[in-house]
Structures are given as structure tokens and as C-alpha cells.
Amino acid sequence: MAQFNETELTAAVVKSFEQTPNPRAKFLLQELVKSLHDYVRRTDLTFAEWEYAIDFLTRTGQKCSDIRQEFILLSDVLGVSMLVDAVNHRDRDGATETTVLGPFYVGEHKVTPHGTDISAKLEGERMFVQSRVTDLAGRPLANVPVDVWHADGDGFYDSQKPSFATEGASSRARFITDADGRFFFRTILPCSYPIPTDGPVGEMIMQTRRHPMRPAHVHFLVNAPGYEPLITHVFIGGDKYLDSDVVFGVKDELVAQVETRSDAAMPDGTKATGPWHLMTYDFHLKPGEGLAPKPLGAKVAEPA
Ligand code: BEZ
Ligand code: FE
């Protein structure tokens, strides 16, 4: 009869995965067992703490739906998402920096004409966003789908609001780059916002006296065939949370100095009704493979 002490148990569980056909799956499972067992030994984990953890993870799963991913949020606030991002993007070679996808990429972004106000129904300071997608040599990449999404002036994504089901997307669209790699649109200036605090992850953040804020940003997902998918944000320069993002997602290169303008018209000729903001930020893609990840639990349109 097999009987194990604390360390023999780890070796036995590791060995139990020895016949796993996929070598990578075998490696990942064995390393996971080693790290988990090590954690239990180092912390002298009690039964009550183990039960708390099981309950926490159960509630995390129960909070997930087609339009909410509490596990991604957990990964984000524990810095795991940014660590996965870091180990997978070690050599940028001048390509635009990457950051977390976040839980609000729900897919189904609708192709939208350049210049559209994607926040037309929302109150807020108006902003014009102009951008160009190029390769590492600065050559334009035409016909590339770029998904864009950001929070409203109260810090909520459209998918967090009950109206999403009936009214559809807001502050969320797909643009296709023109022959010169350009795309542009109008929207509102996003503000800093808290991650959702009405679930187990938010509960953890509040109970541990962390703050739940993310600095203001716009999300971009650029998906060009023959290039690495680019999942990133552009942050609004000057935001007070740039140094303490709850998901550790800020990189200096991703902070844009958004200008305040008083010109009567925006760059595409749209008449301004008052002062407005101009965000200019270009994306440089690295040759590579792969489609950007689809949001879990959600359907997403394939790139054109
Ligand atoms: C976001 O930027 O939308 C986000 C990212 C990570 C966690 C929560 C929100
Ligand atoms: Fe966001």
C-alpha cells in the first residue's frame, strides 16, 4: 500500500502524470503540482484556509457569463496576465508594446466607417483619435481590422450595462485601415475607472486595502495576417493612476499625451462644438503568426 510523507506525496503526484501523451501538458501539470504543493508546505495551509480558497474559486466561476470573465479579472489583479504577456513578448524589436486584454472584450465588433462618433449617445468631452498601423519599417499595413473599446464617462463598459442587450455596442467598434494604414474616429475622453467590485475579485481587492482603479485608456486589438496580433491600450497621459494600475498594465510607451484643442474643426472636417481632445498614436506590428485570442464565452467576428 502506497503511503507518503509530505515530500514523497509531491513526487508521487508528479509521477502520476508520467504517461500524459502531450509533453507540454505533462510539463505544465507536473510543474503546477510542484508549485501548489510547495505553497501548501510553505504556508502550513489550514483546512479553513483551503476551504475559503475553494469557495472563493467557486464564486469566481459562478460570476462568469457570456459577457463577464471573473477568472480573467482574477488573473489580472494577481499580475498573472501581465506576466504571461511579458514572457511571451520578450523581444519587441520596435513593435508596439502589449498589455492585458481585460474582461470587456466581448467580440462582435461591427465594422464602422472612419470618422464615426462611436460614443454619439454619451455625454463627455469629445475626442478625435487618429492612428496608423505599420510594419516595423514604417510601411503602412492596409485593410487591417482594428477593434477599439473603452469605458464611458462614468467608468462603465457598454457590456456592463443592462442596455447592452437591447441597444447594442457603444464606445466599441472595428475599423479597417485604409491604403495608407490609417484609421480615425470620434469618441469621448475616457476616465479612470474601478474594475468591477461586485464579485469575489473586487471583494479581495477591497478587503486587502488595495484600490480598484485603472488609469483612463482606450483598448486596441490589431489583427493583421502575417503579423503578431497586437493587444494593447493607449493610456491618457497625466492620469493619476498611471503609477498604480490595479492590473499592473501600464507601460511608458503606451502613454499618449492627449492634446486639448480649440480649433473649429477636427482633422476630418467635423465641426467642433467646443474644446476637444486629440489622441494621436501609431501601432507598429511585428511579423508573426496567430489570431488574437477570442474572448472566452463570447462569439467574435473573424478578421476580414
Ligand atoms: C480593462 O481595461 O477593461 C480591464 C482590464 C483588466 C481588468 C479589468 C478591466
Ligand atoms: Fe479597460
Nearest residue (CA) to ligand 1, atom 6: 102
Nearest residue (CA) to ligand 1, atom 3: 102
Residue entry with cell 498601423: 133
**In the predicted structure, residue 293 carries a pLDDT above the cut 90:** no
Residues with CB under 5 A from ligand 2 (ion): 102
Residue to mutate (ligand 1; options 71, 83, 147, 195; most atoms within 8 A of CB): 195
Q: How far is CA 162 from CA 67, 156, 166, in A?
A: 11, 11, 8
Nearest residue (CA) to ligand 1, atom 5: 102
Residue to mutate (ligand 1; options 198, 204, 214; most atoms within 8 A of CB): 214
Backbone angles phi, psi at 171, to 5 degrees: 55, 40
Residue 217 annotated as catalytic: yes
Residue 298's DSSP bridge partners are none
User: 193, 227, 241, 281: which one is catalytic?
Assistant: 193
What is the domain class of 70-284 according to CATH?
mainly beta
For 208-220, what is each residue's pLDDT tens digit? 999 999 999 999 9
Q: Rounded to whole angstroms, how far apart are CA atoms 240 and 61? A: 32
Residues in contact with ligand 1 (CB, 6 Å cut-off): 73, 76, 100, 102-104, 195, 214, 247
Average pLDDT, the chain: 92
Rounded distance from Cα 145 to ligand 2 centre (Å): 19
pLDDT (average), residues 233-256:
97
- Which amino acid, residue 254? L
Residue 219 annotated as catalytic: yes
**In the predicted structure, residue 65 carries a pLDDT above the cut 90:** no
Query: Could you tell me what percent of the chain has a pLDDT over 90?
Result: 79
CB 68 within 8 A of CB 185: no
CB 180 within 8 A of CB 164: no
For 4-40, what is each residue's pLDDT tens digit? 888 899 999 999 999 999 999 999 999 999 999 999 9
User: 150, 172, 186, 219: which one is catalytic?
Assistant: 219
Q: Other C-beta atoms within 10 Å of 304: how many?
A: 11
**In the predicted structure, residue 301 carries a pLDDT above the cut 90:** no
Of 67, 169, 153, 193, give the one whose Cα is nearest residue 118. Answer: 169
Residue 52 annotated as catalytic: no
CA-233 nearest atom, ligand 1: 2
pLDDT (average), residues 250-276:
96
Residue 157 annotated as catalytic: yes
Rounded distance from Cα 219 to ligand 2 centre (Å): 6
User: What is the helix (H) or strand (E) element at residue 6, kind and residue range?
Assistant: helix 6-16
**In the predicted structure, residue 294 carries a pLDDT above the cut 90:** no
CA-101 nearest atom, ligand 1: 5
pTM of the model: 0.89
